[in-house]
Amino acid sequence: MFLAPAALFIGVLIIYPLARAAQYSLQEWDGIGLARYVGVTNYTQILTDPVERGSLANLGILLIFYALIPTALALMTVSMMRRTRPRGMGFFRAVYFLPQVIVTVVVAIVWTWLLAPSGTGTVNGLLHAVGLGASTGTPWLGSFNTALPAVGVIAAWLDFGLCFVLLLPGIQRIAPDIYDAARVDGAGLLREFFSITVPMLRRDIGAALTISAVAALQSFTLIYQATNGGPGYTTMVPGLLIYRDAFQLGEVGPASALGIAMSVLIFAITFGIRALIERNAT
């Protein structure tokens, strides 16, 4: 009795639609006419079609910005905090986490202003003010070479606080004696970081990498709003491609195949990072 409503919701609105998605993914269908069975071509197309393959490559680069960079920065920050125990820890934690609770469309809008070619208060404006660069500089989100890393910067800004909050309790759990003993043995800063902090925090680092990597896969809103995949296809990601294929181009099959592939990737990342951590633990 207590279980029935949840089972109904999950069954009807998650499991059944997933089965339909799997079915669509094997078809050629424009959303209106008759569907035609085409086997796995929609899946092989992910690797052969230049736009789809390109979107995966972009995702790979975004993973660095969404996951690796924020985790690394957060790791350095929490280690510094552990050594110096500064005042106002609660304040810093609250501030760093704030981007996570700002509506993503809003984040995208304000960053498109900040990354505009010129203007007071923009990144280019600030660079010009300190003597770096001309008063009208690069249109960061609008040029082929910089659009993807520019989106990456927004992503790193978003996820730093998330990783910070995920790593902070872990480092506070490590007994200070361990660091004291290492210092007696003459371990330096770097040694301390790589021989104590990183191994002791591997579970927390795993959690930070997993959560931020999954966020990278679900970057639809940010990219739709900031660049809509452009210029060209330089910031195209699988999520945006699903939307474009299914709802603008009437290519339901490829969109569904990409959706299934994305889900598989999320499970692979989650369980892959776990397996890696567990194996190194023993």
Partner 1 sequence: MLSRTERTVCMAVLIMAAVVTLYPMVVLVTTALTPGNGSGGISFGGHLSFSAFSYAWRSGNFSTYMLNTAIVTVSVVAISAVIAIMAGYAIALAKPPGARWVLYAAVFGFMLPVEALIVPWYYQFLKVGITNTYWSMILPQAAQSIAFGTYWMYVAFRSIPKSLSESARIDGASPTSLLWRILVPNVAPAVKTMAALVFLWTWNSFLLPLVMVSNQSLYTVTIGLSTFQGAHFNNFSALAAGSCLAALPVVVIYLFAQRSFIAGIFAGSLVE
What residues from 118 to 157 belong to the interface with partner 1 (CB under 8 A)?
119-122, 157
- 38 near partner 1, judged by CB under 8 A: no
Q: How far is the CB of 198 from partner 1 (least distance, A)?
A: 17
C-beta of 10 vs 134, nearer to partner 1 = 10
C-beta of 41 vs 221, nearer to partner 1 = 221
Give CA–CA dist 159/107, Å, rounded.
Answer: 12
Q: Within 10 Å of residue 12's Cβ, how many Cβ atoms?
A: 10
Q: Within 10 Å of residue 122's Cβ, how many Cβ atoms?
A: 17
- Judge residue 16's burial from the number of C-beta atoms within 10 Å of its C-beta, 0-12 exposed, 13-18 middle, 19 or more buried: exposed
Q: How far is the CB of 156 from partner 1 (least distance, A)?
A: 10
Give CA–CA dist 30/195, Å, rounded.
Answer: 56
- Judge residue 172's burial from the number of C-beta atoms within 10 Å of its C-beta, 0-12 exposed, 13-18 middle, 19 or more buried: exposed
- 110 near partner 1, judged by CB under 8 A: yes
Q: Within 10 Å of residue 220's Cβ, how many Cβ atoms?
A: 16
* Measured CA distances, 254 to 48, 244, 268 (Å): 12, 11, 21
Q: Are 65 and 149 in contact (CB under 8 A)?
A: yes
Q: 67-70: list long-range contacts, CB under 8 Å, 24+ apart.
A: 67/159, 67/208, 67/209, 67/212, 67/213, 67/215, 67/216, 68/209, 69/152, 69/156, 70/156, 70/159, 70/160, 70/162, 70/163, 70/208, 70/212
- 179 near partner 1, judged by CB under 8 A: no
Q: How far is the CB of 139 from partner 1 (least distance, A)?
A: 14
C-beta of 130 vs 145, nearer to partner 1 = 130
Q: Which of residues 256-275 bind partner 1 (CB under 8 A)?
A: 256, 258-260, 262-263, 266-267, 270, 274
Find the binder of partner 1 among 40, 199, 247, 275 (CB under 8 A): 247
C-beta of 114 vs 145, nearer to partner 1 = 114
Find the binder of partner 1 among 40, 47, 57, 94 (CB under 8 A): 94
Find the binder of partner 1 among 47, 109, 132, 181 (CB under 8 A): 109
Q: How far is the CB of 175 from partner 1 (least distance, A)?
A: 18
Q: Are 118 and 124 in contact (CB under 8 A)?
A: yes
Q: Which of residues 182-211 bind partner 1 (CB under 8 A)?
A: 206-207, 210-211
| Region from 40-48, 52-60, 91-99, 193-201 binding partner 1, contact rule CB under 8 A | 91-99
Q: Which of residues 42-71 bind partner 1 (CB under 8 A)?
A: none
Q: How far is the CB of 165 from partner 1 (least distance, A)?
A: 6
- 165 near partner 1, judged by CB under 8 A: yes
C-beta of 41 vs 118, nearer to partner 1 = 118
Q: Are 66 and 216 in contact (CB under 8 A)?
A: yes
Size, binding site for partner 1 by CB under 8 A: 87
